Amino acid sequence: MSGASASAAGGPRTAPAVRQAGLWNIANVLTMLRLVLVPAFVLLLVHDGGTSPAWRSFAWAAFAIAMITDVFDGHLARTYNLVTDFGKIADPIADKAIMGAALICLSGLGDLSWWVTGVILFRELGITLMRFWVIKHGVIPASRGGKIKTLAQGTAVGMYVLVLSGPLATFRWWVMAVAVVLTVVTGLDYVRQAVVLRRAGLARERAERAGAAERADAR
């Protein structure tokens, strides 16, 4: 009787609804793979002084895999309810790590100007800190421009990882130029969104405090 009542009440049946995704799911595994690829990518890129076309091709393959997993792990986590606390922390770290490592190594090898690396890394770090600055007021969603920026950065950096010459070397310069412009423009747009979001949040808090004070006076 008691077992039947519990079942009828829905006690045991609620467990699947509140089941949390385990750490070892496909989305987190892809994120971990991306983290592991960072040191592997760096070693491949700088091997033999970073002058070997073959080793840089291997580095490009590692970078490409990292970029592809970046696309799929978030999609899988959202689609199949595989979002975990680990994924929320590790995913953005993996994203910044692979791109930051690539930019710093390319600049260190003399293939990419340090100011380009500085602009991109400053933007990425600044936007991350800004998201935490306004997080209590709301979340700044990823914009279409931000996604295009990420694609442009990945394409440009990937082309710089390869040993290219002639028209392709010129073309990659223009791709990187587009990526830098998008980096700056989308960064400014995120700043605008953050300011608007924070102002709205502060105004809402003031209104709530005023309403609470009025109710207290009415009593």
Higher pLDDT, 141 or 203: 203
Rounded to 5 degrees, what are φ and ψ at 91? Answer: -60, -55
State the average pLDDT over residues 13-24: 53
Contact 25, 84 (CB under 8 A): yes
Q: How far apart are alpha carbons 142 and 25 in whole angstroms? A: 24
1 token code pair: 């009787």
pLDDT tens per residue, range 120-164: 999 988 887 887 788 777 777 667 888 899 899 999 999 999 999
> Over the chain, what is the mean pLDDT?
83
Which of 66, 52, 55, 33 lies closest to 154, judged by CA?
66
Distance CA 159, CA 3 (A): 64
Interior CA angle at 121 toward 50 and 131, to 5°? 145
CB burial class (10 A; 0-12, 13-18, 19+) of residue 11? exposed
Q: From CA 81, how far away is CA 141, in angstroms rounded?
A: 19
> Are 158 and 60 in contact, with CB atoms under 8 Å apart?
yes
Q: Which two tokens stand for residue 87?
A: 């994924």
Residue-wise pLDDT tens digits, 34-50: 899 999 999 999 998 99
Separation CA 56–CA 210 (nearest Å): 62
